[in-house]
Amino acid sequence: MLRLFLAVLAALLLATGGLRAEPVGQILDTNRALIQKSSRLTIGPVIDALATSGDDRAEAVLQAWGDKHLGIRKSDGAFVLITRKGGDYVLTAPDGKAAGTAKRSDIDALRPNAGVRRLIDGALVQFQLNAPKRATRAAALDIIDRHPEAGQLKPLEASIPGEFDPGLRSRKERMLRLLTIRFGDDGAARIKAIESFGADTGLDLRGALNPLLDTKRVVTRAGETPPGNVARQLIPGKGIGDAAAYDLLVKAGDAPARLTPVARKQALEANIEGGKVGGVPVPDLSDPEARDRAYSALEQAGKVPQAATAAEVAAAVAAHAYWDVYAEPSKEVTDAARAALSKIALKVDGMEAFDLLLEALSLASIYFLAAIGLALTFGVMGVINMAHGEFIMMGAYTGYVVQQWIPNYTVSLLVALPLAFAVTFAAGVAMERLVVRHLYKRPLETLLATFGVSIALQQIAKNIFGTQARPLTSPAWLDGAWVLNDVVSISYIRIAIFVLGLVFLLLFLFVMNRTRLGLELRAVTQNPAMAASMGINPDRINMLAFGLGSGIAGIAGIALGLFAKVTSELGQDYIVQSFMTVVVGGVGNIFGTLAGAALIGTLQKGIEWLNPSNTLAAQTYMILFIILFIQVRPRGIIALKGRAAGD
């Protein structure tokens, strides 16, 4: 197969009247100097000559050269292929004949640098495309993928009929079409290749299409059209700024450089004569117009180079027309490429929207997790707990401490989840008993007292763990991402947080609607006095509910800690968003919290998408939106009605 191909190639070369089949040894000898001091800039023709020599030893020689197995025998200066054997080299002449052995000191091994090796690899591709080993052929395709070149087109095409591996064959065919788009000679074939992809979203296709639409700026006199494939005309003020237009003129040599204020100042400073510059007294030069006058005077006297003042710039800009011209000469090809790209863009936009939706969903589940405990204490019990964020932090630090004891991340996670719940449950119950219980009738003071607890807890965490961020490492099976295609992907951690959020939603619903505790909790919420007279102990219920809300915060802390670093400010960063989630969603209803989290998550991602460089501004706009949203629905998305709504 290889021989056949090389014969075809050689015949082709002969037919096109270029070269005769030439033994590689001879080529090496003629280019001895270039090869010995090889550099990426000069070696190209030599490698091409070797690759197209038609000699069936070309591949072996190139391969050896690239692998640093080509050397020069010091005694007679002959090129030899070298193989190490013990302390010596076994030698082979370029034509394949054995040439004995030699001491290592007798051979000067060539060491081509990385740039040269890459050129050699490129030249080897055409041989490797037909190599018997599948891995070699795949590697050759990888090289084409990375460095596509016009010369690869023919060998690639020729290698397809002989390719029997279906995977590689379809890859080769795809690559052939891509190379045709880039380097094909026949316009119709290129258009056909472009259209054959349809709305394929592969990055490689976009990589092939985008260069076709490269344009360059061209200037003509007003009223003229430039030669070549014109993309569009640019009107100064629209599409191109006046300054940019004038810069084009300067670059094209049609106008003198603009007089910049700095240049003007320097020229004037250099020409002060007796307290005057060009007849203008120096103290007057604080006025820009006076400076222009002085400069014009100097210009006329020939003391400074010609430069355009503002009026001259405006006239020159108006006297010319500005164009974008495609580098690609064929209009049909650029049209087809543009059409294909716009089709692709549409599809990519759709997928990006889907990706954005996934991200919004994951952010929403983070907010939901952070807010679900609040929904219980604030929403159901009406108690505002500013220390909620610190319970989240406490859970995260529990996870960190457990990881210090148990090195296996999976086991430590399984231990940490219930432990975090237990720790924050206990902390929540303690706080309810000691502080919140006394303040049920004074909501504003609950806010302040729990805030005092929050300051203290935060500082204690700082004192114990320091101010630097502590890592909470996720197990290996949570690393990585679920990749759908080039556009859509989502990390496993985010999926895990989503699942956790879902689990807690179901758990919450189960506890509230199907258990004794939930029944009593709802009763106490609606009418504590009546509930108490029915034999429910409101104190106990409040305590449990508070503990439960805090415990969920602890578990949320582990989830957030896996997602971000654990610091003493972890909870504080989420507390305002959590309250927003509960308030926007509507107090006293878990589905309201869910809706609030979805709204806030989607909103934040949406605003970030509109202005991707600036996540801080996104949060600002989101909070502003929420303040306005409260205007429209003061009781949140899902408002309680009737007696349960309280006041």
* 628 contacts another protein (rule: CB under 8 A): yes
Site string for another protein, 513-552 (x = CB under 8 A): ----------------------------------------
- Comparing CB distances to another protein, the nearer of 307 and 402 is 307
Q: How far is CA 87 from CA 47, 66, 78, 92, 102, in A?
A: 30, 22, 21, 17, 9
**3-state secondary structure at position 111:** coil
Site string for another protein, 329-368 (x = CB under 8 A): ----------------------------------------
Among 223, 616, 641, 642, binds another protein (CB under 8 A): 616
Span of 277-285, 301-309, 517-525, 638-646 interacting with another protein by CB under 8 A? 277-285
Nearest to 41 by CA among 150, 144, 116: 116
- Comparing CB distances to another protein, the nearer of 366 and 626 is 626
Q: Please give the helix or strand (H or E) that residue 31 lies within, else none.
A: none
- Number of residues in contact with another protein under rule CB under 8 A: 55
**3-state secondary structure at position 330:** coil
- Comparing CB distances to another protein, the nearer of 1 and 617 is 617
β-pair partners for 325: 216, 230
- Comparing CB distances to another protein, the nearer of 184 and 636 is 636
| N-terminal to C-terminal alpha carbon distance within the chain | 89
Count the neighbouring beta carbons within 10 Å of the beta carbon of residue 171. Answer: 18
- Comparing CB distances to another protein, the nearer of 86 and 261 is 261
Residue whose structure tokens are 């003071």: 445
- Comparing CB distances to another protein, the nearer of 215 and 619 is 619
* 451 contacts another protein (rule: CB under 8 A): yes
Among 10, 259, 344, 453, binds another protein (CB under 8 A): 453
Cα(466)–Cα(460) distance, integer angstroms: 9
Q: Please give the helix or strand (H or E) that residue 238 lies within, else none.
A: none
Cα(237)–Cα(258) distance, integer angstroms: 18
Q: What are the DSSP calls for 402-462, one per residue?
A: HHHH---HHHHHHHHHHHHHHHHHHHHHHHHHHTGGGGTT-HHHHHHHHHHHHHHHHHHHH
Contact between residue 298 and residue 304 where contact means Cβ atoms under 8 Å apart? yes
Among 119, 580, 590, 597, binds another protein (CB under 8 A): 580
247 contacts: CB under 8 Å, gap ≥ 6? none
* 442 contacts another protein (rule: CB under 8 A): yes
- Comparing CB distances to another protein, the nearer of 330 and 619 is 619
Name the minimum Å distance from CB 639 to another protein: 13
Chain centroid, CA 347 distance in Å: 19
Q: Please give the helix or strand (H or E) that residue 13 lies within, else none.
A: helix 2-15
Name the minimum Å distance from CB 633 to another protein: 9
Contact between residue 216 and residue 316 where contact means Cβ atoms under 8 Å apart? no
Q: Please give the helix or strand (H or E) that residue 217 lies within, else none.
A: strand 215-221
Contact between residue 556 and residue 564 where contact means Cβ atoms under 8 Å apart? no
Span of 130-138, 217-225, 249-257, 616-624 interacting with another protein by CB under 8 A? 616-624
Name the minimum Å distance from CB 403 to another protein: 25
* 443 contacts another protein (rule: CB under 8 A): yes
Site string for another protein, 392-431 (x = CB under 8 A): ----------------------------------------
- Comparing CB distances to another protein, the nearer of 146 and 438 is 438
* 388 contacts another protein (rule: CB under 8 A): no
Residues found near another protein in the complex (CB under 8 A): 261, 265, 268-269, 272, 277, 282-283, 285-288, 291, 384, 435, 438-439, 441-445, 447-449, 451-460, 462-463, 572, 576, 579-580, 583, 614, 616-617, 619-620, 623-624, 626-628, 630-631, 634
